[in-house]
Amino acid sequence: MTQINIDDIKHIAIGASLLGAGGGGNPYVGTLMAISAVREKGPVQLIEPTDVPEDALVISASMVGAPAVSLEKFPNGNEYDKAFPLLEETYGQKAYATYPIEAGGINSMIPIMVAARRGLPLVDVDGMGRAFPELQMTTFAIAGHPVTPIVITDERGNNALVNTIDANWAEKIIRTITVKMGATSSVAGDAVHGKDLVANGVTGIISLSKQIGELIDSASDFETVDAALTQLLQITKGYKLFTGKITDINHTTKDGFNFGEVTIEGFGTFEQSFGSVSFQNENIIFKVNDQVLATAPDLITLVDVDTLIPVTNEELRYGKRVNVLGLPANSKWRTEVGIATVGPRYFGYDIDYVPLEQLVEKYSKMGE
Amino acid sequence: MTYQIGIDVGGTNTDAVILDERRKVIAATKQHTTKDIQTGISNALHEVLNQSGVNPDYITDVMLGTTQATNAIVERKSLAKVGVIRLGYPATASIVPFTEWPSDMVSLLSGTYQLVHGGYEFDGNNISPIDYNEIRKVLKGWKGKVDSIAVVGVFSSLNPDQEESVKKLATEILGDVPISISSKIGSLGLIARENATILNASLYKVINKVAIGFDKALQDEGIKKCNKYLTQNDGTLMTLDYAKLYPILTIGSGPTNSIRGAAYLAKIRESLVLDIGGTTSDIGVLINGFPRESSLAVNVGGIQTNFRMPDILSVGLGGGSVVRQLSNGEVTVGPDSVGYNITQEALVFGGQTTTATDIAVAMGVAKVGDSKKVDGLDRTFVKKAFKKISEILEDAIDKMKTSAEKVDLVLVGGGAIIAPDYLKGVSHIFKNEQGGVANAIGATIAQIGGQYEKIYQYAQYKREEALRDTQKLAKKQAIQAGADPESVRLVDIEEMPLAYAPGETTKVKAKVVGDFMKK
């Protein structure tokens, strides 16, 4: 068991941004919410999934809606003090702990606030190991856990207990209520039991985020940035896929989703090569000279070449120099159902999923 | 013939120029910036009037770009106690005002705040109805305890009505206590806008002192009936009266003035501006005559704000940058510099340190000091160092460009002599002899601006109407700041769709400028 203090929150936010694979939005407001709660209530206990009794109930806390709106209208903080008891009542069981459903942006921070306010421990686990845009895109859901019941609330005290026949309906109904609540809402859901955490969750994600954040924060203390990057790749089991400068960004918003493509002109050992990242909120496909080097569910993430600070898709701009990193997805995504749920074909690309490690090996052999 | 005076206060120098009706520079000076700022302004003013012999009665306008507001925040001096009213309850209670501020600032400003009912949703509906009795009670309780008030409403950039009515109420209850409202100060992003509004409210004593000092300096020089303006960080002017309401907008006006002055001298509206000083080089981007704004949050004295600032990239290369050869043969230039000691320490001035200026002289691109003093330098070393200078500049230029196409570059600053005649990615380099006082010229040629940002749902509000509406609001802002309504024109309009929001929700931002109203 470890404690999460103010500095840890800042580090977790940076690390989660990296694992957000371009998505998840700006963690600024979320970070301040978590810091405020911890300043008031004291540090949060971080526990291992194996510390949770088999039958204990663990509830996830998150926000749904437009990140740009939550920069202006953010929660009261007590939303979850209403949502948790309602969900607990449904299960007939008190929550033993809380956990984040994804890594990246505000949703890596909300559970820290909730843990501090409600005096619950935080479990070192999530349901993605990264960020994804839709409710059914969790390792719990693909293992057969229903996405509902979900309690959705707003700051006024309005709330709804939502039970749906499947995840798609949950997605539709939750989105509609969210719009009426002011384009953002607070939800408690993805309730699972202790035994499910290890079996179906992505374990160790908060401590990994923290480790990544600490490393990036101290990148300037290394002899060279490359030395820091090497260590970053070690702890994430990742690869540096490309280094270059952003030369074009093609951005559109369609049905509330942020679509686009980024062109990166290589430099250094990548001179004369062009990289391209296709994203739909999160980065989905990365190609070098039209050859696929990584696809979702593996993580494609951009970091600043000088500082290693993750670059989210809202911060993309011409001239920015980035390393493109590829991180292998959790093995729970690398299954038939995982790939069907979040693989390249789900996002509309005519590409078969091949694990990152194989694509990298194939590519490096071509160069020989 | 009538004349205008521009004054720009920088960290090291206070510059002043006099321009005639045809905007020709007829006098220019560089004086040391004094600790009290005021003396430096008086000295510069006195000097240009003396140089030109212009009759003070023919001075019609005086523009001042000053760092006093920035200094007050950084040095924590003369700041007022601020009471913050945030309209938004029950939303936003999870982060209260002053969160993560430096503790010395919180105690200086008293850290007083109250979160009250009110505020808007993104679509213009109320979060909760505003309760005037609640606000009245808060304000009465603050009587005599705070010096000024900051009013911040959720989504007030969508609709400033609630903020305006709280302002009215506060004036009724507290009398002539200065009141800052957030919709006039920042853009979307509650915390950063609130921070900027609180800082604005804390600066009213400082700006009053600036105004009194400015008036006195003009009186002392016999300038009695001119229009007085302060320059804003977006390259536009505001009347002294308007500046008293929005002192925070004077922060960061220096680089903007410099960029605009440089472009004016080169007579272009689209270019990069490279200002090479003694220790650093600053690069800005001029679009349609105005500097490109930074997309990053701006940190002022340890506090995150989101008001508009020019997008400037600084790199550690200047005329005084120290040049070294490493044991592996590699040559480095900067980031350390001999700074203002260059006239003693550089080789060409008889010193012992090899500087970027020495390299430029050895390469024959600059003619200063005694070129014989660099004859002994190894040619390979000189060429490597000069290549390094080019690389640092080309790299910085490349980072600031918005497309792969070549751009024009305006070169100014005391260290500009070290720049090569050719730079990769640049089509033409403009230089000007008056480049040294570009900032004061920039202050003089500034116009009155207005800016407005609002969120629309195109599903309900036609796009064309939304664009017109934003422009209208920006124009209103410009007229309020002192612009001649006839002359107001659109500089920039920007649409930004919001992800995950319904009904084609789009943020529209318009920026206009106009000439100032003649008295």
List CB contacts (< 8 A) between A220 and chain B. Answer: none
Answer whether B517's CB lies under 8 Å from B447's CB: no
Q: What percent of chain A has pLDDT over 90?
A: 77
Give the DSSP H/E element, type plus range, for residue A141. helix A139-142
Sign of the four-CA dihedral A209, A212, A213, A214? positive
Inspect the interface and report whether the beta carbons of A32 and B99 lie closer than 8 Å.
yes
List CB contacts (< 8 A) between B100 and chain A. Answer: 32, 35
Burial of A126 (0-12, 13-18, 19+ CB in 10 A): buried
* Residue A215 located in a structural domain: no
Q: Tell whether A186 and A259 lie within a shared domain.
A: no
- Please state, rounded to an integer, the average pLDDT across all residues of chain A: 92
CA distance B10 to B17: 14
Compute the nearest-CA separation of B154 from chain A (Å): 6
CA distance B260 to B461: 36
Name the residue among A208, A204, A214, A191 with its Cα closest to residue A308.
A214
Question: What average pLDDT score do residues A57-85 get?
Answer: 93
Name the residue among A19, A27, A20 with its Cα closest to residue A238.
A19
* Residue A210 located in a structural domain: no
Q: Tell whether A108 and A199 lie within a shared domain.
A: yes
- Whether the pLDDT of residue A120 is over 60: the answer is yes
Lowest mean pLDDT among A102-106, A108-112, B81-85: A102-106
Token representation of residue A51 = 């510390």
What pLDDT does residue A53 have? 97
Dihedral Cα B48, B49, B51, B53, nearest 10 deg: 160
Task: Tell me if residue A78 falls in helix, strand or coil.
Answer: coil
Name the residue among B435, B446, B447, B441 with its Cα closest to residue B489.
B447
Q: Tell whether A243 and A167 lie within a shared domain.
A: no
Task: Tell me if residue A313 falls in helix, strand or coil.
Answer: coil
Instruction: Tell me the pLDDT tens digit for each residue of B296-335.
Output: 667 787 888 876 678 888 888 988 899 999 888 889 998 8
Q: Tell whether A244 and A189 lie within a shared domain.
A: no
Name the residue among B423, B441, B445 with its Cα closest to residue B432.
B441
Residues, chain A:
368
Instruction: Tell me the pLDDT tens digit for each residue of B199-215.
Output: 999 999 999 988 998 99
What pLDDT does residue A255 have? 62
What pLDDT does residue B296 have? 66
What pLDDT does residue B297 have? 66
Q: Tell whether A112 and A246 lie within a shared domain.
A: no
Size of interface A-B (CB pairs under 8 A): 124
Dihedral Cα A53, A59, A61, A66, nearest 10 deg: 130
Lowest mean pLDDT among A187-191, B17-21, B127-131, B441-445: B441-445
Sheet with B112-117, edge to edge strand ranges: B112-117, B82-89, B148-153, B179-181
Task: Report the complex ipTM.
Answer: 0.90
Domain that holds residue A140: 2-203
CA distance B186 to A208: 36
CA distance B30 to B434: 12
User: Any chain A CB within 8 A of the CB of B459?
Assistant: no
Inspect the interface and report whether the beta carbons of B507 and A68 lie closer than 8 Å.
yes
* Residue A98 located in a structural domain: yes
Nearest to B501 among A28, A29, A256 (CB): A256
* Residue A223 located in a structural domain: no
Final residue of a structural domain among A146, A181, A203: A203
Q: What CATH number did the domain enclosing A304 receive?
A: 2.40.390.10
Compute the nearest-CA separation of A331 from chain B (Å): 29
Compute the nearest-CA separation of A50 from chain B (Å): 31
What pLDDT does residue B511 have? 86
- Whether the pLDDT of residue A181 is over 90: the answer is yes
- Whether the pLDDT of residue B409 is over 80: the answer is yes
pLDDT band at B344 (very low <50, low <70, confident <90, very high): confident
User: Any chain A CB within 8 A of the CB of B103?
Assistant: no
Dihedral Cα B290, B295, B300, B306, nearest 10 deg: 100
Name the residue among B202, B228, B195 with its Cα closest to residue B146.
B202
CA distance B4 to B218: 13
CA distance B250 to A133: 41
Answer whether B478's CB lies under 8 Å from B184's CB: no
Angle at B476 between CA B472 and CA B478, to 5 degrees: 115
Name the residue among A99, A57, A132 with its Cα closest to residue A343.
A132
Q: How far is CA B29 from CA A271, B46, B411, B435, in A?
A: 48, 10, 20, 12
Q: Tell whether A184 and A258 lie within a shared domain.
A: no
Q: How far is CA B313 from CA A31, A348, B334, in A?
A: 27, 39, 16
Token representation of residue B215 = 């008036």
- Whether the pLDDT of residue B500 is over 70: the answer is no
What pLDDT does residue A302 have? 96
Question: What average pLDDT score do residues B167-178 get?
Answer: 95
Answer whether B274's CB lies under 8 Å from B410's CB: yes
Q: Tell whether A118 and A60 lie within a shared domain.
A: yes
Q: Tell whether A135 and A256 lie within a shared domain.
A: no
Final residue of a structural domain among A158, A182, A203: A203
User: Any chain B CB within 8 A of the CB of A77?
Assistant: yes
What pLDDT does residue B308 have? 65
* Residue A247 located in a structural domain: yes
Instruction: Report how far Cα A64 is from the mean position of its chain's Cα atoms.
Output: 13
Q: How far is CA A237 from CA A13, A231, A343, B114, B318, in A?
A: 20, 10, 20, 48, 42
Q: Tell whether A144 and A237 lie within a shared domain.
A: no
Residues, chain B:
519
Q: Tell whether A8 and A73 lie within a shared domain.
A: yes
User: Any chain B CB within 8 A of the CB of A20?
Assistant: no
Compute the nearest-CA separation of B370 from chain A (Å): 39
Q: Tell whether A275 and A128 lie within a shared domain.
A: no
Q: What percent of chain B has pLDDT over 70?
A: 97
Q: Tell whether A195 and A321 lie within a shared domain.
A: no
* Residue A175 located in a structural domain: yes
Question: What average pLDDT score do residues B426-455 get?
Answer: 83
Burial of B427 (0-12, 13-18, 19+ CB in 10 A): exposed
Final residue of a structural domain among A186, A203, A220: A203
pTM for this predicted structure: 0.86
Place of tokens 């605009």: B260
Name the residue among B147, B186, B187 with its Cα closest to residue B170.
B147
Instruction: Report how far Cα A27 is from the mean position of its chain's Cα atoms.
Output: 11
CA distance A176 to A172: 6
User: Any chain A CB within 8 A of the CB of B92?
Assistant: yes
Token representation of residue B70 = 């920035």
Question: What average pLDDT score do residues B236-256 get?
Answer: 85
Domain count, chain A: 2
* Residue A276 located in a structural domain: yes
CA distance A243 to A235: 20
Q: How far is CA A135 from CA A63, A71, A140, A147, A334, in A?
A: 11, 22, 11, 7, 19
- Please state, rounded to an integer, the average pLDDT across all residues of chain B: 88
User: Any chain A CB within 8 A of the CB of B405?
Assistant: no
Give the ranges where B175-330 is alpha helix by DSSP (H).
190-202, 204-220, 240-245, 253-266
| B409 or A306, greater pLDDT | B409
Question: What average pLDDT score do residues B257-261 get?
Answer: 84
CA distance A35 to B227: 48
Q: What percent of chain A has pLDDT over 70?
A: 98
Lowest mean pLDDT among A290-299, B119-128, B227-236, B379-388: B227-236
pLDDT band at B36 (very low <50, low <70, confident <90, very high): confident
Number of other CB atoms surrounding residue B168 within 10 Å: 10
Give the DSSP H/E element, type plus range, for residue B390. helix B379-400
Token representation of residue B112 = 């007083």
User: Any chain A CB within 8 A of the CB of B155?
Assistant: yes
Q: How far is CA B203 from CA A177, B148, B251, in A?
A: 43, 9, 11
CA distance B412 to B259: 9
What pLDDT does residue B518 have? 66
User: Any chain B CB within 8 A of the CB of A257?
Assistant: yes
Instruction: Tell me the pLDDT tens digit for each residue of B178-196.
Output: 999 998 887 888 999 999 9
* Residue A216 located in a structural domain: no
- Whether the pLDDT of residue A188 is over 90: the answer is yes
Token representation of residue B208 = 């009053």
- Whether the pLDDT of residue A193 is over 90: the answer is yes
